[in-house]
């Protein structure tokens, strides 16, 4: 059964025509799926009954519902979603409330090929990329669906290793026929897969977050194999070709490991690397994982690092950790990790 979720109005029009329905049914389908958020063809009452039945022979709306939910004492909710209808191949989505905001952290792949050493997902290996329908189900299937204000592609997987489906998802989020969100409400986090990063920067106006973690190539390579194919210096050279002085923002994620990347030498190298770029650095407290050589930087080391960056002209913030008690914080999810 093919899923309608994730299709554009013009694709829905083609589907309608092929089922013998009038072309304008494409827009009606889009309104029902994205506007009214119905989950079955039977609910689309302005389509003829016979037309709905013909569509139902080959198509379904395709919203996957979560298999489970855990709620943190700080209000963060973690959901488990099946991939392609398969509950043994599940991913997680995390909803983070913050004042008036409700941000959804979404997964784009089951597992990941990138093999970052500090990441639980990287250790699991790769089990497949999500379709746009499965990525969008994370928005449509949760209890807070109608209240969401923002999203970050920081869940399981490297979103730029699944660019076509991620792009399709972003189109639904930002198109007038979809959620109609401003691109400012969407942030994609990547370790820097250069060819698709260029596409993202050319084709979308959403924010960018880059997982940096170490300004020295050899040290970064020891944590992140991607450094070999796409060195961080080349990633930053590419980013410098785009304008981040207006609405679109770029930030760098920097997880702090005691003694490995939290010294003044690292702060100074980071300042040199990012010199002149309009950006901010998010310093992230590392949550220990088994069989990993580095521990968590102390609060004092993180503050000293932040202050050194700030004195050098780069805004740096220490990010609050959320959802630790339900293993929803950065680096603690077995089914989900992020790029941080």
Catalytic residue numbers read 92, 330
Q: Which of 13, 102, 322, 339 binds ligand SF4 (CB under 6 A)?
A: 339
Span 178-237, contacts to ligand SF4 by CB under 6 A:
191
- Counting beta carbons within 10 angstroms of the beta carbon of residue 310, is it exposed (0 to 12), middle (13 to 18) or buried (19 or more)? middle
- Is 157 a residue that touches ligand SF4 (CB under 6 A)? yes
Could you write out the DSSP letters of every residue in 277-290? ---EEEEEEPPP-T
Among positions 100-119, residues that touch ligand SF4 (CB under 6 A) are 112, 114-116, 119
What distance in Å separates the CA atoms of residue 186 and residue 207, rounded to the nearest whole number? 6
Q: How many residues bind ligand SF4 (CB under 6 A)?
A: 13
Nearest CA-CA partner of 188 in 214, 167, 165, 207: 207
What one-character DSSP code corresponds to residue 296? B
Rank residues 97 and 115 by Cβ distance to ligand SF4 and give the closer one. Answer: 115
Nearer to ligand SF4, 226 or 316 (CB): 226
Runs of H (alpha helix) within 59-175 = 120-124, 132-140, 163-174
CA 11 – CA 27 distance, rounded (Å): 10
Q: Minimum distance between the CB of residue 124 and ligand SF4, rounded to whole angstroms?
A: 9
Instruction: Give whichever of 116 and 212 is closer to ligand SF4, judged by the CB atom.
Output: 116
Binding status of residue 337 toward ligand SF4 by CB under 6 A: yes
What is the rounded CA–CA span in Å between residue 100 and residue 220? 37
Whole-number Å distance between alpha carbons of 316 and 292: 26
Please state the closest distance from residue 330 (CB atom) to ligand SF4, in A.
Answer: 10
The HSE-up count of residue 32 (CA atoms within 13 Å, CB side) is 24
Which residue in 92, 134, 158, 165 binds ligand SF4 (CB under 6 A)? 158
Q: Between 30 and 114, name the residue whose CB sits nearer to ligand SF4.
A: 114
In the complex, minimum distance from the CB of residue 164 to ligand SF4, in angstroms, rounded to a whole number:
18
Binding site for ligand SF4 (CB under 6 A): 112, 114-116, 119, 121-122, 156-158, 191, 337, 339
């Amino acid at each position: 059964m093919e899923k309608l979720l994730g299709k554009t109005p013009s694709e829905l029009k083609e589907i309608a025509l092929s089922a013998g329905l009038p072309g304008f049914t494409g827009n009606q389908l889009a309104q029902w799926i994205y506007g009214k958020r119905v989950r079955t063809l039977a609910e689309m009452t302005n389509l003829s009954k016979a037309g709905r039945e013909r569509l139902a022979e080959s198509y379904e709306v395709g919203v996957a519902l979560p298999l489970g939910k855990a709620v943190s004492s700080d209000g963060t909710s973690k959901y488990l979603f099946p991939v392609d209808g398969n509950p043994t191949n599940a991913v997680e989505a995390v909803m983070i409330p913050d004042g008036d905001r409700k941000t959804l952290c979404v997964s784009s792949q089951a597992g990941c090929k990138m093999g970052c050493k500090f990441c639980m997902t990287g250790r699991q290996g790769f089990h497949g990329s999500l379709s746009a329908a499965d990525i969008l189900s994370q928005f449509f299937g949760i209890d807070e669906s109608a209240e969401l204000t923002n999203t970050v592609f920081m869940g399981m997987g490297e979103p730029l290793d699944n660019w076509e489906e991620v792009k399709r998802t972003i189109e639904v989020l930002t198109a007038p026929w979809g959620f109609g969100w401003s691109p400012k409400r969407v942030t994609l986090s990547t370790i820097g897969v250069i060819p698709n990063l260029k596409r993202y920067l050319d084709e979308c106006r959403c924010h960018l977050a880059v997982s940096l973690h170490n300004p020295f190539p050899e040290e970064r390579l020891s944590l992140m194999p991607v450094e070999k194919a796409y060195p961080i210096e080349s990633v930053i050279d590419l980013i410098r070709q785009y304008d981040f002085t207006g609405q679109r923002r770029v930030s760098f994620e920097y997880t702090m490991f005691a003694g490995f990347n939290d010294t003044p030498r690292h702060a100074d190298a980071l300042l040199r690397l990012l010199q002149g770029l309009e950006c901010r650095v998010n310093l992230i407290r590392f949550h220990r994982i088994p069989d990993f050589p580095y521990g968590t930087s102390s609060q004092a080391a993180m503050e000293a690092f932040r202050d050194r960056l700030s004195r050098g002209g780069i805004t740096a913030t220490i990010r609050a950790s959320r959802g630790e008690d339900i293993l929803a914080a950065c680096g603690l999810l077995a089914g989900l990790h992020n790029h941080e």
